Structure 1
């Protein structure tokens, strides 16, 4: 059983941007995408702050977000990266398996990676993520670099907080059906 220990606000800025964006999409009738909570069992709780300080994951989670965009089922995971190299160890095999199965059911799976040093977020289609993953399995690099990403999939950050990823989803869908 895996153990969870708090590491501060790791990843929370990206999740906050995505959650805010998803609320706007919902209010505008563009999409209904929800954050999937990771099921945990608390072990230690700080009595003064009432924060969980130690917990166990109940089971492996799937991805961070699942929903539907104008009739298209979507699922994605959100990751932050301080460097220009993204370690594939940040994506777990059960997540890859879930996204693969999701795509086999005519859904669209992807990864959003926020490169904090560049203040840039990228939409990474599952097909691209799969290529990087296969390269690793074949004995190649266990990461991918910022420079390997399709620059047309840079996600616009609007008003310093909205991560408008639907534009890149549209590009991905057009590329799939060519």
Structure 2
């Protein structure tokens, strides 16, 4: 069973930005998106500092966020990337299966990537992700490079919206019609 430790907090800044963006979307009746907590079972607790120092995941996580945007079911995961290469090992097969099944039910699934050094966000649709995933499964690269991504789906902060992902999501939806 996998253990929980500080490595699991790597995306917490990105997730906090997304949480604030989701609050703004809700205030403006644009979307209702909820952060999905990953259930853990604490093993060791530092009672003096009230910290969990060791825990086990109770089950495999699916995605970080789920909800609806103007009646469209949406699920997505948030990933930070230090380099210009994103390792596919950061995405698990059970997450791919969940996102594929989610889209089969009429929803839209994607990843929000944050390239830290470039201070850029990227909307990676499930279709785009599957191109890289399938290439890896066939013995190809086990990662994808920044320069392989469609430039149209990069986006920046926009005022109070720290991670304004609805615009690239709308482009993704339009490309499906």
1:67 aligns with 2:77: no
Q: SS state of the match for residue 7, structure 1?
A: helix
2:8 and 2:125 map into 1 onto residues whose CA distance is: 29
Against the structure 1 CA distance between its residues 161 and 13, is the aligned structure 2 distance closer, same or farther, given a 3 Å change threshold? Answer: farther
**Which stretch shifts more, 17-26 or 147-156?**
147-156
What do you get for the CA RMSD once the two structures are aligned?
Answer: 1.2
Task: Indicate conservation of the 8 Å contact 2:21/2:160, yes or no.
Answer: no
Aligned to 2:125: 125
1:128 and 1:7 map into 2 onto residues whose CA distance is: 26
1:74 and 1:39 map into 2 onto residues whose CA distance is: 21
Runs of 4+ more than 3 Å apart: none
Task: Indicate conservation of the 8 Å contact 1:121/1:155, yes or no.
Answer: yes
Instruction: State the TM-score, normalizing by the size of structure 1.
Output: 0.96
2:9 and 2:104 map into 1 onto residues whose CA distance is: 34
2:160 and 2:24 map into 1 onto residues whose CA distance is: 14
Aligned residue pair count:
177
Stretches of structure 2 lacking an aligned partner (at least 5 in a row): none
- 1:63-102 matched pairs, under 5 angstroms: 63-102=63-102
**Which stretch shifts more, 2-11 or 140-149?**
2-11
Q: 1:89-115 CA deviation, whole Å, 9 max, x = no partner?
A: 000000000000000001000001100
Instruction: State the TM-score, normalizing by the size of structure 2.
Output: 0.97
Aligned to 1:5: 5
Aligned to 1:18: 18
